[in-house]
Amino acid sequence: MQPTTTEENNRNQPPPEKFNSSVETGSTCSSITASSSPTRPQQSASQGDLSCPDQKSSFSPHSGAASGGCTSNIISNGQEDVEQVSEDVNRYADSLADDDKSNPPEVPHTVEAFSKIIESRIDNYYSHSGESARKRVKKMTEEDAFFIEAVMRLSKLTNAFSEFPPSETLNRTSFVLQKAMAFLEEEMRFLLEDSKLPPSPDSVNPNTHHHHQQRIAKNSSFSSKDKDSSDHHRQSSSMNGDHNDGEDDFPGYSPDTVTKMNRIASAMISAGYEKECCQVYSISRRSIFNQQLKKLEYDKLNMDDVWRMSWESLETEIKRWLTIVKHCSKLLFPAEKQLGETVFAHHLSLSTSIFSNLARAVVIQFLDFAGAVSLTKRSAEKLFKFLDMYETLLDLIPSIITDDDCCEHELRSEVSAAAGRLGEAAINIFLDLENSIKNDVAKTAVPGGAVHPLTRYVLNYLKYACEYKGTLEKIFEKQAGLDQNHSLCDSRPAKYTKHEESEGESSPHNLEHEASTTRFSVQVVTVMDLLDANLEAKSLLYKDPSLRYIFLMNNGRYILQKAKGSTEIHQVMGDNWCRRRSTVVRQFHKNYQRESWVRLLHSLSHEGLLVNGKVNKPTLKERFKNFNTMLEEIHKIQSTWVVSDDQLRTELRLSVAAVVIPAYRSFLGKFRQYLDSSKQIEKYIKYQPEDIEALIEELFDGNSTSMGRRR
């Protein structure tokens, strides 16, 4: 019930400072909470209502000495009499329900005595405020429990009096109740502010933040030098810090302290001081929550600040933001919600409202930063941070859900909208990969036919993008629902559609026919198709057909190995795609052998060596000389070529040796005898089979001495 007009007038008086609820001088009101009321002593049959023998039942509460003497006697008789007075006042308040409300009720002496008992405890606290403050404890004591119960009975009595015409007794009880409420408010503030901040997550410092630290250095320029990154396993930072013993359930408070706050809140609300109770709780908790954010080094940045930042600086702020939001989501918000639900256990609607207001004030700050980031200039390296922020915002929603349907719907909608803007920005960045590939037109070939930086970049980019497969699929589908006129399938190259429809096609460009095909998987295949087309065009920069196939083989093998090595890409592309890709790489291998070694093997042909059944020595010598010259030329050139994949390099050397060495050994064994008598035989037979094998082992090493001589 709300206070009467008299109570409202009394509130205009300066509130008391700190006070104590004890009867005896020097005792302190340490705590006030949720324990059960202390056991009452057995009432004596002769005590009645504890009125003084020289007073009548209609005794005025302000009749001076008589009243004061009665009260002094009660106080001096000890705790048993004080508790008896409290019981008598409670019964008297119950009896007023049946009285005629048009006439002032008869007021027993115990009412004035009861008011003075409560007031004396408060005043006694003032006289020892310094000492009492030092002795304050946070747990509930038996004396605290009695004081709170006494205050609640005084509130009950004041409410009962308010149904009668105004009287001096009503003014008196209202004034004492006001002093008691002021004390409880101050006690609540003390308990709330005497909080230990929960520990910060270890990863709050962006310099030690390891999330995505193994991800590739994403550079918007595809022509920049790129290296393979080590395999990365995405991890969610553990936001749960270690708690102090005994304070695991609440943010910085012991269970005893929370119990005490619960009893104070119940007393204040039942007395009609709901607004004051909620206000002191809200202000204190918001202040402490802001202290925690400050401890986490959270700084509010406006949109201009975000837009002016370099990517390196903004990335650091995003890492900090991610850590803090996750910490709030996993620890601070759930603990804050639990604290409020415990303190206001009997008034959960108030707890919900208080938490919703606090959460909204904090979350709006997070959303402002996320909104500013989503509006920054798009660039490829921002994709993964945008996706991290998107996921973090969605994970935040469950931690701020309350039973307040209106507030919950509004705040949830705002968080979802902010996440949607980040998702849209992320999709646009991912789609920009197509244009980046198309626009990467090189005029100079990569030396030695090595893997092109574009290939490394795109495959690493897809690898990490596929780690967000579930998230990207959701975003793609959501965007498709928002824009029915935009179809990612329509953006596929014609080559994709053609090969997809061809069942027996050996090209790796088509996606497996699966019911689980999504817009994201189609987009990945589209990127692969564009990359193949780009590499095909770049291979034409090589004048040597053999080097052209080495280039295609290197890049094709790299793509295949990356796809097989990444579970995420493999799931998107499928086994059939990998088999087709292997077939294409093998065909590049065969084409290389044909272009490089057929002419060499032709020099070992028997055709034209026999004239009239005899070996033509000049022709034989010329054949050996031609073989030597071509072998040396091939070795000189192809030892500068690069095959970085160890397995592929070994396969190439073995396949060349398997063709060349048996043919040379056979030719040498058959015709060497015709040159044994010749002078300078070493001029023609320069190499033994093992020498040729050694030369083949030196191919594809990327020897810099002749690098770039021929492409």
Model confidence pLDDT, tens digit, residues 224-265 = 334 444 343 344 333 344 444 444 556 688 888 999 999 999
Q: Please indicate, yes or no, whether residues 178 and 160 belong to a single structural domain of this protein.
A: yes
Range of the domain at 401: 198-257+273-426
Q: Please indicate, yes or no, whether residues 133 and 251 belong to a single structural domain of this protein.
A: no
Last residue of a domain, one of 398, 426, 454: 426
**Burial state string for 517-542 with b = 16 or more CB within 10 A and e = fewer than 16:** ebbbbbbbbbbbbbbbebbeebbeeb
Give the residue-averaged pLDDT of 107-126. 78
Cα 21 off chain centre by: 48
Q: Please indicate, yes or no, whether residues 375 and 523 belong to a single structural domain of this protein.
A: no
Q: Is residue 677 part of a domain?
A: yes
pTM over 0.95: no
How far is residue 89's CA from residue 78's CA, in Å, rounded to a whole number? 17
The answer on pLDDT for 383 being more than 90 is: yes
Q: Please indicate, yes or no, whether residues 34 and 167 belong to a single structural domain of this protein.
A: yes
**How many Cα neighbours within 13 Å face the side chain of 685?**
21
Q: Residue 671: what pLDDT?
A: 87
Q: Please indicate, yes or no, whether residues 643 and 580 belong to a single structural domain of this protein.
A: no
pLDDT in tens, 35-60: 333 333 333 333 333 233 333 332 22
Confidence of residue 430 (pLDDT cuts 50, 70, 90): very high
Lowest mean pLDDT among 53-67, 293-307, 449-463, 618-632: 53-67
Q: Please indicate, yes or no, whether residues 239 and 368 belong to a single structural domain of this protein.
A: yes
Domain count within the chain: 4
Contacts of 374 (CB under 8 A, 6+ apart): 386, 418, 421, 422, 424, 425
Lowest mean pLDDT among 135-149, 301-315, 461-475: 135-149
Q: Please indicate, yes or no, whether residues 135 and 40 belong to a single structural domain of this protein.
A: yes
Closest CA to 6 of 199, 129, 169, 156: 169
Q: Residue 518: what pLDDT?
A: 86
Q: Is residue 263 part of a domain?
A: no
Confidence of residue 84 (pLDDT cuts 50, 70, 90): confident
Q: Is residue 432 part of a domain?
A: no
Q: Residue 650: what pLDDT?
A: 95
Q: Is residue 431 part of a domain?
A: no
Q: Residue 495: what pLDDT?
A: 39
How far is residue 592's CA from residue 548's CA, in Å, rounded to a whole number? 8
Q: What is the DSSP letter of 701?
A: B
How does the average pLDDT of the chain come out, rounded?
A: 76
Q: Please indicate, yes or no, whether residues 396 and 455 belong to a single structural domain of this protein.
A: no
Q: Please indicate, yes or no, whether residues 415 and 493 belong to a single structural domain of this protein.
A: no
Q: Is residue 434 part of a domain?
A: no
| Residue 287 vs residue 175, higher pLDDT | 287
Q: Please indicate, yes or no, whether residues 316 and 450 belong to a single structural domain of this protein.
A: no
Last residue of a domain, one of 426, 454, 483: 426
Lowest mean pLDDT among 151-165, 312-326, 391-405: 151-165
Q: Is residue 106 part of a domain?
A: yes
Q: Please indicate, yes or no, whether residues 99 and 182 belong to a single structural domain of this protein.
A: yes
Q: Is residue 412 part of a domain?
A: yes
Q: Is residue 489 part of a domain?
A: yes
For residue 238, give the 3-state DSSP assignment. Answer: coil
Q: Please indicate, yes or no, whether residues 45 and 167 belong to a single structural domain of this protein.
A: yes
